[in-house]
Amino acid sequence: MKGKIAIDRELCKGCTYCIISCPKGVIAVEGNFNSKGFFPAFPKDMKRCTGCALCAEMCPEIAIAVWREQPPAKKKAQKGG
């Protein structure tokens, strides 16, 4: 399953809970301050994201949105008449 996240860098307070909680090591800390003076988290290695949403569940600022790519729908087996 492939996933994708977006982190609102202005909501982020740099607590790193999302980084600790991500089982795939997707998230890292940015090198630049946001407007609140925190180093915000960002998706450094998005291709590893599974869309499990653990990061978003852990975020106290509700700064992370998660999308999960749906697998293609299975074709129904053709029944003979």
Residues binding ligand SF4 (CB under 6 A): 3, 5, 7, 12-18, 21-22, 24, 26-27, 40-41, 49-55, 58-61, 63-64, 66
Nearer residue to ligand SF4 within complex by CB, 58 or 70: 58
Give strand ranges (E) for 1-81: 3-7, 27-29, 41-43, 64-68
Least distance to ligand SF4, CB of residue 21, Å: 6
Nearer residue to ligand SF4 within complex by CB, 30 or 81: 30
Nearer residue to ligand SF4 within complex by CB, 56 or 80: 56
Is residue 4 helix, strand or coil?
strand
Residue spans of alpha helices (H) in 1-81: 17-21, 54-58
CA distance 27 to 72: 27
